[in-house]
Amino acid sequence: MQPDPRTGETGPNDVVSIERHGPIALVALDNPPVNAASHALRTGLWQAVEQLQDAPEIRAIGLYGKGRTFIAGADIREFGKPPLDPWLPDVCNFLENSAKPIACILHGTTLGGGFEIALSCHARVALKGTKAGFPEVTLGILPGAGGTQRAPRLAGMAAALDMITSGRQISAQDALDHGLVDGLSEDDPREAALQAARDMLDGKLPVRKTGALEVTHDEAALQAMRDKLAKAQPLLYSPHKCVEAVAASSQPITEGLKEERRLYNACMESPQRAGLIHAFFAERAVAKIPEAAARPRNIASIGVIGGGTMGSGIATAALLAGFPVTLSERDQAGLDRGTAAISRNLDGAVKRGKLSPEGREAILASKLATSTDLAALSQADLIIEAVFEEMNVKREIFETLDRIARPGAMLASNTSYLDINEIAAMTGRPEDVIGLHFFSPAHVMRLLEVVVAEKTSAETVATGFALAKALKKTAVRSGVCDGFIGNRIMTFYKKAADYMMMDGAAPEEIDRAMTGFGFAMGPYQVADLAGLDISWAANKRRAATRPAEERYIPIADRLCENGWFGRKSGQGFYVYDETGVRPNPAALEIIGAERGKAGITPRAFTSDEIVSRFMTAMILEATRVLEEGIALRPIDIDAVFLFGYGFPRFRGGPMHTADLIGAGELVRRIEAYAAEDSYYWRVPELLRKMSETGESFAEMNGKR
């Protein structure tokens, strides 16, 4: 390249440049938006440092990134492709062995491979506000370019283990305290790089080869982490391999790097890695919607109708995102309960470090308004109804909103099941009506189903997705049906669990099998947490249209008839009291009585049988949701279950799991189960076609 006439910069390629200042050379990385460690960046960095080895006047090198961050990690466009030389591990080793000392400036989010490059340099300075870390474990792998070997040499085994096995990010000050950086700066990256290089020459900044440092073997820290992971993450693969890799850091660096590479390759071959990578991309894929080109409306204020669990949670989420919120309830008692719930939610945010005590007081003092009059919402840009799941109540509210809401206001229902088209028909502005299905607790759960009715405008849909981003939630587009994507599928597979319960499996056995598969909670634990009265109301609503052929299990209804709604009432399928949680003996008696009425002789189910039926039912109904166009793509269904239903992330979601099982095997299972219940177990046409053609759900993601 020719020198830039304005700056004097030269460089081996378009993303790496060299700027010379007497005995100092600055190497700048410019690969927007996040300076990802792409092939071009790796090649350019190698060539730049190589060129400077042959420049006798250069005695020190400052390395920094232009833009908002130093290297933020790998280039996701290269995921799943064969690596191209130079590999990142080779680049790190090359930098460490440079005869000219290199000072690296960390700023922005210096993560993964970017952090490994920094640790390979001979000195490090972090700008204030920097976040650094190793997120690889969240993708089912481990830092494979020396991170597990160099971090312990600087910070010790205990600190390195914590960072690497958790994937958490640390602050610049934490990095300094642990010895991972040698100083902090408030300069811009270029000036900091120039000063750091000067300080190396002046002896003010120590120059060290990280790989030459020795590690004190800390068996106590290693065993403590092994014990912690065995208890907290027994099903995961890569965290345990991370511990093995860090343990190898007490060997000479060459031997430790060999062991790191062996363990890295083992992680790459694990099915969990594929599942976690799929989950990573699912979060990004769901944003690709037909309405993406539409311009979202400006949302400056939000009204929330209903101060119950969902309404107060939605209000909390909006307040934490900086929106002014007006909460409306039927009476002052309802407002008081809602305000108290919001206050408790904000207290929780303070305890988690998400909000300062002063911020909490400011929100309650200036951001939250309350009223028993819906007219108080007349100037809100978005009004979210979050009242009880009763269509007549919602119809009445939207009829009123049509009269009082300002023109152009967006009207949303938080319904979990009900028909958004019917709700929208109560207004003269159906294009402004949408479903925003939050998941409880709404200020914590990441999923937001954006339910698009027949007349919902593209602008309204785009606004729903923009709102989700502002609330730091993952939005998934859904069409209209009973239960939308998530609850429709859940309602179906919950029947499979109920059938197994009726036929002989105890609720605790089913829950244990599914948590053994990787779910955070089993279906009966979830039902108790959500409230059995919610599904009871839905069951009563569906009773009139329930097909005569459908096998109906009334056990949960019997619990509700006794006032046992789950956690909130102290008992459901389980008992909740001061001694803890345990199976409810009274519920087991009801189960036995219902089996007797139906003339069923209980039989045993193995954990494998429970998982097989449960997952097959989930995939069966998910395939129908896809067939009907309720979900845009298989990966959208995966996202719903990953972010809203506790599906084990390392398994990638139900449709990813379906591909691992295979369409042919799924068809075989369904046909075998149909011998017991030919109405429930029916093969979707799409799945049968896939079994014949060999097509996978993964292939469909690229076509839709």
Residues with catalytic function: 416, 437, 449, 487
DSSP 633-700: SHHHHHHHHHHHS---GGGT-HHHHHHHH-HHHHHHHHHHHTTT-TTT----HHHHHHHHH---HHHH
**116/178 Cα distance (integer angstroms):** 16
* Ramachandran category for residue 248: left, alpha or beta (phi over 0 → left; psi -120 to 50 → alpha): alpha
DSSP 552-611: ---HHHHHHHTT--BGGGTBSSEEEETTEEEE-HHHHHHHHHHHHHHT-------HHHHH
Neighbours of 449 (CB within 10 A): 26
- CA-atom Rg of the chain in angstroms: 29
Place of tokens 């003269």: 428
| DSSP H or E segment with residue 449 | strand 447-451
DSSP 257-295: HHHHHHHHHHHHTSHHHHHHHHHHHHHHHTT--TTTTSP
**499/476 Cα distance (integer angstroms):** 30
**151/297 Cα distance (integer angstroms):** 46
Q: Which residue type occupies 42?
A: R
Contact 147, 110 (CB under 8 A): no
**316/342 Cα distance (integer angstroms):** 6
**288/294 Cα distance (integer angstroms):** 12
| DSSP H or E segment with residue 189 | helix 189-202
Contact 6, 35 (CB under 8 A): no
Pairing of strands 183-185, 123-127: parallel
| DSSP H or E segment with residue 421 | helix 420-424
What φ, ψ does residue 169 adopt, rounded to 5°?
-95, 145
Those residues whose C-beta lies under 8 Å from the C-beta of residue 527, and which sit 6 or more positions away, are 494, 535, 556, 566, 572, 573
**450/324 Cα distance (integer angstroms):** 22
Please, what's the largest Cα pairwise distance for the chain?
Answer: 93
Q: Which residue type occupies 299?
A: I
Our measurement of the distance from residue 110's CA atom to the centroid of its chain's CA atoms, rounded to an integer in Å, reads 20
Q: Which residue type occupies 212?
A: A
Place of tokens 């053994």: 516
Name the token pair of 25: 């050379």
